[in-house]
Amino acid sequence: MRSDTVTKGMQQAPHRSLFNALGYTEEERQRPLVGIVCSYNEIVPGHMNLDKICDAVKMGVAMAGGTPIMFPAIAVCDGIAMGHVGMKYSLVTRDLIADSTEAMAMAHQFDALVMIPNCDKNVPGLLMAAARINVPTVFVSGGPMLAGKVKGCKRSLSSMFEAVGSYAAGTMTAEDVTEFEEKVCPTCGSCSGMYTANSMNCLTEVLGMGLGGNGTIPAVYSERIRLAKHAGMKVMELLEKNIRPRDIMTEKAILNALTVDMALGCSTNSMLHLPAIAHEIGMDFDITFANEISAKTPNLCHLAPAGPTYMEDLNEAGGVYAVMNELNKKGLLYTDCMTVTGKTVGENIANCVNRDPEVIRPIENPYSETGGLAVLTGNLAPDGSVVKRSAVVEEMMVHEGPARVFDCEEDAIDAIKGGKIVAGDVVVIRYEGPKGGPGMREMLNPTSAIAGMGLGASVALITDGRFSGASRGASIGHVSPEAAVGGPIALVEEGDIIKINIPETKIELKVSDEVLAERKAKWVPRQPKVTTGYLARYASMVTSGNRGAILEIPR
């Protein structure tokens, strides 16, 4: 066993003395050492229950003959970090989580791992780490929050942000906002729509790294405790069979994840995280091939913010496996991929019934014949940009209007809430990309303000930053190359006409090549916004959004 490096032989006597200091017995040292990577903390609602999940996992590992040993991973609540300097520190934690988990696992020579994530960057960060470390690993998340209820209707965090915009527009009172505030987030768990956290937890199932139900069983259900115990037991089975993450997270598994992403209508952030996970297994992930998959993959789900259903509804309808079984009716998945169940994808999803065709549309009756995400290219985004097509109203699928240009998120929000943005406008927020931000902030505040002001069906927003999974509307992010490296978005001027055609996957700045060349010749790089600390190091190494904002050593 790998842990023999720290537990067996005369040279390891000092190591054993330190295990003695920890209170471990010889019997525990003789068993496989299983690292339990627990992301519990007291500031993220999706993580406040992970201590209970951890206890259950440890019991499962012990029941199956292993020695569970917990160590922590960090996590940021994107909702609390939203709209201020804290959002610069959200995406960047993905790499901190991957790096620190790799360091802990390699330093202490664990034989196997159970990862316990839940919220946005925590899940992909641990998936990246799992691919690097490559010891038998199972994921079990903390689970989604139940939807809130306001005036008899189910609501979630996106409703809360939009309520603030409605208040600014004068269509909602302060008392109304307070009622939303008190009711939209009623339990612990990852926020209840198909936002980034739930998207990535569902895709963890599809990748084969989580057991069935990992993405959908609500955080407050006792069923999740049982799932955690099974995860602990299952990792011991994987260790016995020597099934490792890179046996599971193959190129075919990544393509399965992208396919199910299209059917579920996942967050655009999955188009940052899937390329980063693919990078860890040596796969070159070109985001533009998402359009090829989207073209043949029907969109089967309209979960919030795209529609009125929530994660609890998806769970009752049969969960991710039921969605996968619908897709498999048209042969859209690679069913021979191995998973942490010890079975193949095909074996896992066989006979999984769609119990609610209003939540999971049958493949014969999809919301659309094409998938939930689209990658747009053109002279404004030569390397691509991403939009959640399933959350765009029909009127905005094709749009042309004047650019309203802002060099930071705060200025755009002031203009929107100040009534300076009108129907037909195309709001451009730049210098918010991975390098320019730095950290590629989410733009939930401006998209929510646009929706709350009643402009969701008439105003588009384009950015080299990114969007929350809670964003909806014609919100086009990840514009690459970003402004900070001289991408065309840096050359847009106030009043330039921008044409968006989502069905044709095009985004065009209606300015001649000659004029753009003149502007490019005059363009001067901006001084970095941050020059010290982790953000400065991150900015020096990070790529644009089309490559997943991965870190590379500068050459």
Q: How many CB atoms lie within 10 A of CB 43?
A: 11
468 is catalytic: yes
Q: Which residue has the tokens 């650019």?
A: 403
> Which spans in 219-289 are helix H?
222-241, 245-248, 251-264, 270-280
Going by DSSP bridges, is the β-strand pair 148-150/153-155 parallel, antiparallel, or unpaired?
A: antiparallel
Q: Which entry of 468, 475, 480, 544 is annotated as an active-site residue? A: 468
* CA-atom Rg of the chain in angstroms: 23
Q: What are phi and psi of 429, to 5 degrees?
A: -115, 115
Angstrom distance (rounded) from CA 319 to CA 143: 12
Q: Which residue has the tokens 């959004």?
A: 545
Q: Which of 130, 147, 115 is nearest to 36 (CA)?
A: 115
Long-range contacts of 38-41 (CB under 8 A, 24+ apart): 38/70, 38/71, 38/72, 38/73, 38/116, 39/72, 39/73, 39/74, 39/75, 39/116, 39/117, 39/118, 39/119, 39/122, 39/126, 39/142, 40/72, 40/116, 41/74, 41/75
Q: Which of 45, 377, 37, 424 is nearest to 231 (CA)?
A: 37
Active site residues: 468
